[in-house]
Structure 1
């Protein structure tokens, strides 16, 4: 038993498992011919080189359409230049290692960081099956928090702007603004990095083309919001999606849900004295990771790698010994959110209840509401950050 526990807490062993997951699933999906998302990403660069519309449909090349910003063309370029059999593997590996590195920077004890790795491993697999960039979005949010904790404003600002110019989600890193020391330095860094990411693609492709791309991007995102808000799409696994699909009313507006969600999200900021408590700040990180997903009608099953990192952090900052309801809620989230899309969950329940009603979002919503309650009502004392080794 001691040997098993020692192995599970061996950081090199965990890294080996994550790397094997990335390579195995990349290899498997490539040889199965199931790597459509990677083809979309690859062609963002190839189409930029040819000055084509990045957001038009190209059914002869891939299914669906691109919804990533013009800067993404440069980010994906090193992979797009490789043959697909190599590009797919390196893409999976790069996203996985980035998230592994980001989680390692969390100000948690060594064993708790290891627990985060194991808790999110299955959700990582779900994202790897579809070559998701959301693995790196989760890493960007976590690493932004870690850099702010360590006073590295310049690099935190870089990550926020990177995530924003690639997929907009990165903007949620500004949720940690009130924890920033030297705020004007941070603001200036954000503006500088925004300018860099805005201008850099113009150097490679031309200012006129990139400016047009930004207009096309805005249009594509607006159209995508309309398409996602349906009773049958693979997206809208969100609070709004649950409401629409359970009620059968496709015309339910996002606005009331977003307004209520933002109000609840903002309420803990009133507890200014609690900012000095590490657990309070970690709960805000967990809240941000979950909120980003459950209040977006663009969320699909693999997007939940972002939210489930938040669930793991929430569970691991709870005081020991765990109360029964905390363990029950965590298991509920593990089963319904993480395991439900897989063969580990009964197919009948998955196909007839989980998918049709977007119930993958339900445990994350409950966890998020608990986090908000804890941040508002719990007593917090000042603690010093404990950086993982």
Structure 2
């Protein structure tokens, strides 16, 4: 009797289907919101370019142009420039598709089998749908972190450090790429790259504005981020601070909880993973650390909102596809995907969204559980087992859900 065919493995082996689903959902998410006139985020992005070339303040409100304020660094003006000069709707659509393309390319660079990569893309597609409809920068931040990892372990230190500095000078999240420094086989080149790209990307926007304006803009950017952090922590009923701190404060009704305490706890847990640094050449150890790096900026930032989880969801999927078979891991995957990717959708009903998902920042829960679990697995050297050492090389080591 033939083995029961599993849907994940069946779909994951069809490369053409993965491409259609991935880019099709990105297109659908973007075009749906464009048809409704909901592309305010892109209007903010677009005008960053024009405000910069006219040397106008980047971090104040422009109610006649868009709602809310820009919170990205001056170098972002160069990233958005090719899309800003296009008609608004076309630029918005291409921006979302470019973000999907950046993630797709980055996941293809990971040291995983093609089937594993496809399953990651498939499981992340619902989160991509939402992020694309919000016209987010987070897709590029995710791609930058993944590429930093891939370039570092391949010895392409200058490309890796370009991703770090570009990500840091746009949204600051990119700084977590420094965590991969110890995976570099050319540490001096890595450090040199950080200095070179910092200088280049700091100066580059001056070419279309002025030195004094850029220096002033960075000062204003820092002040804007501090102010935004204060606002995010003030209202536990908002769609902001969907983080570990936000989850804990909402769950235990402790709005006065100091976020620095939560952040310090997260940093300590993260640092513990380096106690196994002598295994830095082990492919599974590297991938476990990558998962922690992807989770960290989302879990420990008060600016985390629902679309930010496009950065965190691949951590869940990467962790899953390199695991040895276990029923509880299959259950955890289903639990995590359901709460992260569908808790703000109508699938779990509008009542659940308004009474559970948003009030309790429930999207953070499975990510926090996995973050703690990763630390435990690294400290107990679970990545060392012979079966796990073969997981990167053989798709036969995929968890039961992915076998055919």
TM-score by length of 1: 0.95
Which position in structure 2 is the counterpart of 1:301? 306
Matched, 1:157 2:161: yes
Q: Secondary structure at the match of 1:291?
A: helix
For residue 34 of structure 1, the aligned residue among 29, 38, 42 is 38
Change (3 A) 1:255 1:6: closer
How far apart, in 2, do the equivalents of 1:158 and 1:137 lie? 12
**Which residue matches 2:204?**
200
Instruction: Give the corresponding residue for 1:122.
Output: 126
Match of 2:241 among 223, 236, 248: 236
Provide the residue aligned with 1:15 in structure 2: 19
SS in 1 for 2:348: coil
State how many pairs are aligned: 386
Q: Is the 8 A contact 2:165 2:174 kept in 1?
A: yes
- Name the CA distance, whole Å, in 2 between partners of 1:279 and 1:199: 38
**Is the contact between residue 278 and residue 384 of structure 1 (CA under 8 Å) also seen in structure 2?**
no
Aligned 8 A contact 2:28 2:129 in 1: no
Once the two structures are overlaid, the 10-residue window that deviates more, 229-238 or 294-303, is 229-238
Partner secondary structure for residue 170 of structure 2: helix
Q: Distance in 2 between matches of 1:215 and 1:330?
A: 42
CA–CA distance in structure 1, aligned partners of residues 201 and 393 of structure 2: 30
Contact 1:277 / 1:384 at 8 angstroms: preserved in 2?
Answer: no
Aligned to 1:371, which of 365, 371, 374? 374
> Counterparts in 2 of 1:65-80, with a 5 A limit?
65-80=69-84
Q: Unaligned stretches of 5+ in structure 2?
A: 395-404
The aligned counterpart of 1:286 is 291
Per the normalisation by structure 2, the TM-score is 0.92
Deviations 1:70-93 (A, max 9, x none): 000111011010001210111011
Whole-angstrom distance in 2 between the partners of 1:360 and 1:379: 26
Q: In 1, Cα distance between the equivalents of 2:54 and 2:250?
A: 41
Return the offset for 1:377.
0.6
CA contact (8 A) 1:105 1:387 kept: no
User: Shift of residue 324 of structure 1?
Assistant: 2.0
Structure-to-structure mapping, 1:185-224, within 5 angstroms: 185-224=189-228
Distance 1:272 1:254 in 2: 28
Aligned runs of 1:93-132 on 2, under 5 Å? 93-132=97-136
Partner deviation per Cα, 1:173-194 (whole Å, 9 max, x = no partner):
0111111111001100111011
* Cα shift readout 1:210-231 (whole Å, capped 9, x = no counterpart): 1110011011000000000021
Which residue in 2 is equivalent to 1:343?
346
**RMSD of the TM alignment (CA)?**
1.9
Query: Do the aligned partners of 2:244 and 2:299 also contact (CA within 8 Å) in 1?
Result: yes
Q: Does 1:355 align with 2:325?
A: no
* Cα deviations by residue, 1:197-251 (Å, 9 ceiling, x for unpaired): 0000011100011111001101100000000002122110011111222233322
* Contact preservation (8 Å) 2:12, 2:115: no
- Shift of residue 3, structure 1, vs aligned partner: 12
Which residue does the alignment assign to 1:179? 183
Q: Secondary structure at the match of 1:167?
A: coil
For residues 289 and 190 of structure 2, what CA distance do their matches in structure 1 show?
19
Post-superposition CA distance 1:329-355 (Å, at most 9, x none): 111111111111111112212210110
**C-alpha distance in 2, partners of 1:213/1:120?**
35
2:96 aligned with 1:92: yes
1:47 aligns with 2:65: no
